[in-house]
Structure 1
């Protein structure tokens, strides 16, 4: 990467991290005002994987405006070529998209990072895959089953159509049977329950639910991660049971992440309200809040959560905001159906950015390797190398 482009990336990352000095801000503004850098920047953007989508245009323009609003150092008088500045705003979309910080919050930049991790075994990104377990224990492999009616459960018909499962029947049904939908690693699936509630299930998850809701409460049991859009029914609350925690709603949109290898269970509210209960104590969430519960501890509420990051998986992306490498690799493990191991300690890295979940594993690792993290692939195992 040319030195001028390298320096601009460094300055942009310092600005994003909030560690940039006044003199460096002047240098950054001067660089963004210099049309002679256009070709270098275009070459850099072309190297970004086509499935990597970072900031949208509005955010890039906001970032550019924020940079220009900073006090100008006298060493770097402003020129402001508006044609070039408009192009610079567009280039910032990709150029600042995937951030890496080390423990001192100083950006780490590598020239020509390349990648040593090339998969010889075909490792495809996840797809619509799931196993449906019926009341009698029989199993249906949904990615192999054709569209149409798959089964009758009690008084409810189970239908598959284009990667979605739908339960329909008489809403006054009295017979209650249970099904379980399992998404393996490398799988995801959509489900519409008998009451009209929509569920999106992430990889490595399972949901047990009645084929018709016949009791005072609509109760489902979750392991893994799912996003819910609950059909409103004030007379019949909807309950999601996760280990020893319970989420109670009447009609709302929320995400529950409860993987066994994550440090806590996280319930995030996007719309409406929910009560998160543990050991008889309920905590009510407002939109934008997240309830976190670690093993052996109570519920803690986090405000102003990045909702786009929480539901990025549902919308087809990996998205991170200062996430540790171990957090990212657990998502990689579940989505690409691989095993992750480490040579020595887990590298202390933090990342932020967004890349499509349709990306090939080589593209995903290439972005991470730009921060001096190295990988080796052996079959379906990805080894994170020990970097001195």
Structure 2
């Protein structure tokens, strides 16, 4: 399928004239797209209007019903189907299936599969529970709170009305290994999605004047409102304070920056050097060395795409991209030579095997890889 064929077929889909076979053809290509070398173009006109058309069309033609108890915890796939195809068209990219069939990367000795739902829960008494091996149901009950695994990806905390919640509550830690992802619902109703190589420490039940949690890595929060108890996230020398809002925080130990991206509501960022307020659509970048803040407008859908199963690279350098790939596929990344100075953009499913992602990057002609077991060598 050529680029023009792809765009023409998608225009036909937007007008509601696609046959079932043509829709299946679009679906088979949408997540395998060629990553372009900082090559941006507006293929169809006004970005806002096109996005509205895509969202309304797919929403109208899709009817997905989830079990009531998990409806708010599991993403709706059509949203990111729309977003990923939209991003692909706007940036002028399309399926690399035919373009790269003769450009396979160096022979991959083993199949490296994508990450999956996995996590380790550490209780206050030091006991560790492997959540991905544990059965669904009650895991523990402490401080007047029942801890329950409700499915393969979600751990919840429920207040036990028959017991009094202790004022000096215990803390738990949820640790996500490399190659993992997991969700939790805290005792106040706050929902948290944790990315690979991340951990969250939090009280089993909140008491006092604030709800404070400590994050290492990356997490997306949907905070339950409580004006009497502000919610605070501590990460790498910085605090994010909210009452009730949706935001994403990235602060891995190896990063010099902590990035807070606001989707809904308002947040205040605190450090020893001062504070900074954010409004929806903004990202606050806190530099660990300078202790200063920088604020910029960002595409929030791109920032949180990871929790819905996508890599979205938006004018991003290869070092940053390979850090994300290394965490998700649990591989070591080595840069052999001076790396490409080009930036890359595109979208691809995180649930493809690693070779599909590397093929897409190699198709740009700007970077090449060599696989050595679970090690990826970036050649140039």
Q: TM-score normalized by structure 2? A: 0.75
Distance 1:282 1:111, change over 3 A: closer
Equivalent in the alignment of 1:136? 125
Please state how far the C-alpha of 1:328 moved relative to its aligned partner: 0.7
Matches within 5 A, 1:1-388: 51-52=31-32, 63-65=43-45, 93=89, 96-97=92-93, 114-162=103-151, 163-170=153-160, 173-174=165-166, 175-279=168-272, 281-372=274-365, 373-386=367-380
Distance 1:200 1:95, change over 3 A: closer
Look at both structures and tell me which one has the larger radius of gyration over its CA atoms: 1
Distance 1:361 1:94, change over 3 A: farther
Please state how far the C-alpha of 1:227 moved relative to its aligned partner: 0.3
Please state how far the C-alpha of 1:140 moved relative to its aligned partner: 0.5
Q: Distance in 2 between matches of 1:125 and 1:321?
A: 21
Could you tell which deviates more after superposition, 280-289 or 185-194? 280-289
Say what the alpha-carbon RMSD is for the aligned residues.
Answer: 3.2
SS at match of 1:352: strand
Could you tell which deviates more after superposition, 334-343 or 370-379? 370-379
Distance 1:237 1:111, change over 3 A: closer
Please state how far the C-alpha of 1:278 moved relative to its aligned partner: 0.4
Equivalent in the alignment of 1:106? none
Q: Distance in 2 between matches of 1:260 and 1:251?
A: 27
> 1:270-314 CA distances to partner (integer Å, 9 max, x unpaired)?
100011000162211111111111222133233321111110101
Could you tell which deviates more after superposition, 325-334 or 276-285? 276-285
Please state how far the C-alpha of 1:53 moved relative to its aligned partner: 6.1
Distance 1:63 1:196, change over 3 A: same
Q: Distance in 1 between matches of 2:289 and 2:89?
A: 42
> 1:3-37 CA distances to partner (integer Å, 9 max, x unpaired)?
xx69x89xx9xxxxxxxxxxxxxxxxxxxxxxxxx
Consecutive unaligned residues of structure 1, counting only runs of 5 or more, are 13-41, 56-60, 68-88, 100-109
Consecutive unaligned residues of structure 2, counting only runs of 5 or more, are 8-21, 36-40, 48-84
Distance 1:98 1:265, change over 3 A: farther
Q: TM-score normalized by structure 1? A: 0.73
